[in-house]
Amino acid sequence: MRNIFLLILLGILSFSAHAQRRRDDDTLHYRSVPIPAHLLPIERAYGSSSLGSVYFYGGKKLSSPYSLEIPFYELNDPEVSHRFKAFRTLTTIGRLTALVPLAYIILSSNKSNGTYWTVYGGSIAATLTFTIIGNGQINKAVTRYNTLLRQPRLGFSATPVPLTGLHAMGAGVAWSF
């Protein structure tokens, strides 16, 4: 009986945690800070793969995905920033993994040819895995960035009219690309 009570209690707690996460996910699109109007959409070149993508910002080809850091941080979205940081971390780990065979050669007293090739092959596999996962993160960040830019922007303004002392009021909606 006690085990059943614990299972029911754990089920209720996990359901409430899931419901809270769901509520947090639903409110991701409501921003307290407006999206800067000068931000442009990011385009991914046709034929890009998971091993590397070519991006265009404002019609100009970017030299690397690291160039996306400025528009991502100007957008100030936590999910986009998190995915970009994950991309940077995974790419760095992948590059450091490529140094493992060199460390094996320098530090190993056992010069077995078969062991070296195992370390070398494992290093290549790990580097490719980290690269693919990292590029997936940057692609998700670009998708989220473009989704946020597509949302309509609502505005309200009150501008003083010269010589009358009155204010002209207006409301507007901007829908981009």
pLDDT tens digits, one per residue of 70-125: 999 999 899 999 999 999 999 999 999 989 888 888 888 777 778 888 888 999 99
6-20, 22-36, 43-57, 76-90: least confident range: 6-20
Whether 17 is in a domain gets the answer no
Domain that holds residue 38: 33-147
CB 138 within 8 A of CB 42: no
**133 or 51: which carries more pLDDT confidence?**
133
Whether 165 is in a domain gets the answer no
Chain centre distance of CA 73: 11
The set of long-range contacts for 152-161, using a CB threshold of 8 Å and a minimum separation of 24, is: 153/34, 153/35, 153/37, 155/34
Looking at the structure of the chain, the number of domains it has is: 1
Whether 142 is in a domain gets the answer yes
Whether 100 is in a domain gets the answer yes
Give strand pairing partners of 154: 173
Q: Measure the CA angle with vertex 68, ends 65 and 71; round to 5°.
A: 170
Segment 17-36 shows an average pLDDT of 54
Whether 5 is in a domain gets the answer no
Whether 14 is in a domain gets the answer no
